[in-house]
Structure 1
Amino acid sequence: MMWLAGGLALTALAGTVAVLRRCYIVVRVHGTSMTPTLRDGDRVLVRRVQLARVGPGDMVVIKMPPPHTHGAPPWLVKRAVAVPGDPVPTDRFPILPATDRAVPPDRLVLLGDNPTASYDSRLNGYFAADKVLGVVVRTL
């Protein structure tokens, strides 16, 4: 009977781990674009979320857009400056279309905490929302 209880406990544990892996992931920071908040080599816990759960000021992890993927880490960690429906901050991001009054529904405006070393919306323009992995919960 004890082996049955042990088996049930292991099954419950495996199920919990599977659910957590679908909801959370650990990502390693590469580079200095988020200093002083995050440093090269830091690991962050990321909660997978839909775009609707991302707000201005959140640190997000997003897939590196092409053509910059060659030899680069697959993920970028940036701070959301504007989300869909927010006014377009054209004063800080001149590359963004001045004709847009609001951030389009499927786009984000992102900025690194260390702008001098950051590949962000100042160079890329809008980032595609479907490339968002999630929101940084904490450093590990």
Structure 2
Amino acid sequence: MGYLIAGVLVAAVLVARRLLVVVQVAGTSMTPAYHPGDRVLVRRGGAGRLRRGQVVVFQSAHMWGLAPPRLGATDWFIKRVAAIPGETVPDSVAARVDAPPGSLVPARRLVVLGDNPASRDSRAWGYVPYDRVLGVVIHRMPS
């Protein structure tokens, strides 16, 4: 019986490691919601189920196209989803992506904004490709 319980626990840990990751916040782009040093629990994947208002972790813009996202990298950003495919491109981002008024976010792209108005986000880099999203923040870890 003890081996069965141990086996179930090991399996549960392995599944959790595949589905969840802890990321430490760096920078002030998400203040007041998150502060430098905060740790957040991220549910991996699920880019196809994203909704406006969710906070996501994604690979930084300078890495797009160079390599697939990987754990252990120090180039992860955390921002709030401002628009998903099929929604109207926010006015604050439209000029950056050459979108006329009323344009829609294209397929497999996101608009992300930091909570801090001084954030570098889609207003600076444009759309975020879906395949660069690590996952959705589901919980702030206790300090």
Bin the TM-score by the shorter chain. Answer: 0.7 to 0.9
> Identity of aligned pairs, percent?
47
Q: TM-score scaled by structure 2?
A: 0.85
Structure 1 residue ranges (4+ consecutive) displaced by more than 2 angstroms after TM superposition: none
Verify the 8 A CA contact 1:61 1:133 in the aligned structure 2.
yes
Distance 1:120 1:86 in 2: 18
* Paired residues, number: 132
Query: 1:60 aligns to what?
Result: 56
Where in structure 2 are the equivalents of 1:1-140 lying within 5 Å?
A: 5-66=1-62, 73-89=74-90, 91-93=91-93, 94-99=95-100, 101-116=103-118, 118-140=119-141
Which ranges in structure 1 are unaligned for 5 or more consecutive residues? none
* C-alpha RMSD of matched pairs (Å): 1.9
Verify the 8 A CA contact 1:87 1:101 in the aligned structure 2.
yes
Distance 1:12 1:130 in 2: 32
Distance 2:19 2:3 in 1: 25
Q: Give the 3-state SS of the residue equivalent to 2:61 in structure 1.
A: coil
Structure with larger Rg: 1
Which ranges in structure 2 are unaligned for 5 or more consecutive residues? 65-72
Q: CA deviation at 1:51?
A: 1.8
Q: CA deviation at 1:67?
A: 5.5
